[in-house]
Chain A
């Protein structure tokens, strides 16, 4: 089974090809059967591989599966290799599992939408690229996956391409990602220049031989790491490149759930974790990672406080959660980062899908100010949403609690972390709790604020949508139990499971021997939970007890409120100071000067030269065959003369 890892990415690809070619003719049922079936099979295959995996000695990994030579040019050879180790297995399981559920959900959600087959084609294609990314055993393959998921996200954001805002959002996502990928590509070149190979194993080998680059002597590794980070920031929507993610909510909700919450945006995190060897050798880069993560976590949370679009709130929460992951990575707690990635995949997917269910129930309404009191109308959605909320705010026992707490604890104790970062993280947690409960309460509690017309058409979503919700709810509850910290008498399986992967970097960073002081950890936990509860309380007070309070506050703190509401005017700033100048450059310099004058000039000049030559040569074509014959014979004579007098 382990040899047939190639099956995992191949199945969705097959599905995508089949659907893309023939889906148009097929009936909806067939399309969904194929689209979901392929992913289901993939999930099954993943499970099989995982089973096989657990049979074997953890020490025998990573294992590299070589398939064929993809590129072979001189000494530059890129084989298609899959890198099978604990990390990739975990990712594969998450991606396929969550992906499968979301596919199921989509059957119901997209049923009335146009371009049904198109949707599933893109989705399958995305699965293929994502799995390729996760399994990649060398940099170029990973890059392919990386760009592929970018492409799919672009296609899916712009799925309703008739809406200008949708296509605009798609373009935005694509362009912003380009900025990140630019750094990524540079990193690729630099890597090859440094290590002469793109194969993970060899690169890690090479890094292992190099000394750690401390703060006062920064070297190539730091450069590479920072460039990689640039890519990760783009993909995982960190400050300052987060701007595309909120707009990405233009896409269908399942897409937001799958791509812009659970999997793709986590690619950056995965990538950093995958290159932990590199980062751990470059503390500067790690510090940057941590800082960025922390800032993002807090910053996005603040924006989330005042947003009114249900999906946008979730989007900002996603950004901030990703911030947490980066924070974890940054302080060298890679395992914790991945842990949060997993749990986040569960509950954020859940939240998005539940939100989708809400929107579905309200026939497309997304503004939470027009909702309220849905608790009775759509109980299944409500309960699942509640689970998700509890998970994300880190209510004890829920998955989010364990993972987030792990990160914060590591931040607190790790030599690479710091109290400041820790404090900001905890505070952001409080904010998270506030805006999440705000969302929950405004949506499901209180008295309904939507029009009666809508009222009687509100309905619970079909089974095919609610079932996945329940499954995810279960996961977001229990998902965290794989990593119960020792402080709570748990074993923290996940950490031990991932230990062999990150062993090297632990050695290098000396985070292996961080002492677990249960009492202290418990105190911190309590603090976090307390803040979460405080957030809940605030939300409860403002939106149920004194509904007017919110507006009053908005009036009194008008300036900051506007600032938050307009997301710190970041988009406008970008527009003014980056987009405009670039436009000017492209238009005035590159187009009207370089392109028209230089390039076109050169081409036309060549054309004129050719014509002149033609005018001259034309005289030889007299049209008189005898003359041609004469020339031919003359040539023959020349040859013979050479034969006689030169080659004697």
Chain B
């Protein structure tokens, strides 16, 4: 029972808890907070998987920027609790069983995908910032540039959309 073992279970538990809370809470803010929790614990799991850089990016971008945006919007619009309408029969009655089936099968699929024997040693394969960066600027240069364009477009789109017409 090494440290990484405990860490995994603690943070996996946190993640699941957060995810569950996310869909359980009726108020968006609480959902957002639980989502942040999920993201944080996922970052730790990434660290356990040796993906340092991704872990950092996860926290900085997801928790630090995207979720801030969410919280910001929620506060700005001062969204209250969501109302309990049940107008979509198919979603109401079919939703849960379908989702559960999906989870079970997906889980089974992934479980089947790899043999149990392969275990995680955080130091065996480390995605250091240097290596990721090198890969990013050699093999994946074009996608990288394209994403920059994407960001720019998204930025302009967001501004155009949210701007009040004078």
Contact = CB atoms under 8 A, between A and B. Distances in A.
Given a CB threshold of 8 Å, the question of whether A touches B is answered with yes
A630 B95 contact: yes
Contacts of B89: 627
Nearest to B99: A633
Contacts of A629: 91
B105 interface: yes
A630 B95 CA distance: 6
Contacts of A626: 87-88, 90-91
A630 B87 contact: no
Contacts of A644: 105, 108-109
Nearest to A643: B109
Contacts of B91: 624, 626-627, 629-630
B25 interface: no
A636 B102 contact: yes
A640 interface: yes
A644 B106 CA distance: 8
A622 interface: yes
Interface in B83-104: 87-91, 94-95, 98-99, 101-102
Interface in A615-648: 622, 624, 626-627, 629-631, 633-634, 636-637, 640-641, 643-644
B87 A637 contact: no
A624 B91 CA distance: 10
Contacts of B106: 640
Contacts of B101: 637, 641
A622 B101 CA distance: 25
Nearest to A648: B112
A626 B82 CA distance: 15
Nearest to B89: A627
B105 A641 contact: yes
Contacts of B94: 630, 634
A637 B95 contact: no
Contacts of B108: 644
A637 B99 CA distance: 8
A640 B105 CA distance: 7
A401 B108 CA distance: 102
Given A640-B105, A640-B109, A634 B98 contact: yes
A630 B105 contact: no
A626 B98 CA distance: 14
Nearest to A634: B98
A633 B90 CA distance: 11
A130 B47 CA distance: 80
A631 B98 CA distance: 10
Contacts of A643: 105, 109
Contacts of A637: 98, 101-102, 105
A566 to B, nearest CB: 78
* B contacts with A: majority SS: helix
B102 A624 contact: no
Contact of B90 (A627, A636, A640, A641): A627
A500 B20 CA distance: 96
A626 B95 CA distance: 9
Nearest to B87: A624
Contacts of B102: 633, 636-637, 640
A630 B109 contact: no
A26 B13 CA distance: 84
A633 B98 contact: yes
A146 B148 CA distance: 58
A633 B97 CA distance: 11
A626 B101 CA distance: 18
Contact of A627 (B88, B99, B105): B88
A520 to B, nearest CB: 89
A638 to B, nearest CB: 10
Contacts of B105: 637, 640-641, 643-644
B121 to A, nearest CB: 30
A634 B98 CA distance: 7
B33 to A, nearest CB: 24
B90 A631 contact: yes
Contacts of A627: 88-91
B119 to A, nearest CB: 25
A514 to B, nearest CB: 79
Most chain-B CB neighbours within 10 Å: which of A624, A630, A633? Answer: A630
A576 B136 CA distance: 83
Most interface-central of A629, A633, A641 (chain B CB within 10 A)? A633
A633 B87 CA distance: 18
Contacts of B90: 626-627, 630-631
Contact of B88 (A630, A633, A636, A640): A630
A634 B94 CA distance: 9
Contacts of A634: 94, 98
Nearest to A636: B102
A636 B109 CA distance: 14
A641 B94 CA distance: 16
Contacts of B95: 630, 633
A636 to B, nearest CB: 6
Interface in A185-217: none
Interface in A255-276: none
B115 to A, nearest CB: 16
A637 B109 CA distance: 12
Contacts of B99: 633
A631 B94 CA distance: 9
Contacts of A640: 102, 105-106, 109
A643 B104 CA distance: 13
A636 B95 CA distance: 13
A643 B102 CA distance: 12
Nearest to A624: B88
Nearest to B108: A644
A617 to B, nearest CB: 16
Interface string B62-99: 00000000000000000000000001111100110011
A641 B99 CA distance: 12
B107 to A, nearest CB: 10
Contacts of A641: 101, 105
Nearest to B94: A630
A10 B18 CA distance: 77
Residue with the highest number of chain A CB atoms closer than 10 Å, among B90, B101, B106: B90
A640 B94 CA distance: 17
A633 B103 CA distance: 11
Nearest to A633: B98
A633 to B, nearest CB: 6
A446 B91 CA distance: 106
20 contacts: A626-B87, A626-B90, A626-B91, A627-B90, A630-B88, A630-B91, A630-B94, A633-B95, A633-B99, A633-B102, A634-B94, A636-B102, A637-B98, A637-B102, A637-B105, A640-B102, A640-B105, A640-B109, A641-B105, A644-B105
Interface of B: 87-91, 94-95, 98-99, 101-102, 105-106, 108-109
Interface of A: 622, 624, 626-627, 629-631, 633-634, 636-637, 640-641, 643-644
Given A630-B94, A637-B102, A644-B108, 18 more contacts: A624-B87, A624-B88, A627-B88, A627-B89, A630-B95, A630-B98, A633-B95, A634-B98, A636-B102, A637-B98, A637-B101, A637-B105, A640-B105, A640-B109, A641-B101, A643-B109, A644-B105, A644-B109
Closest 4 CB pairs of A and B: A626-B88, A626-B91, A630-B91, A627-B88
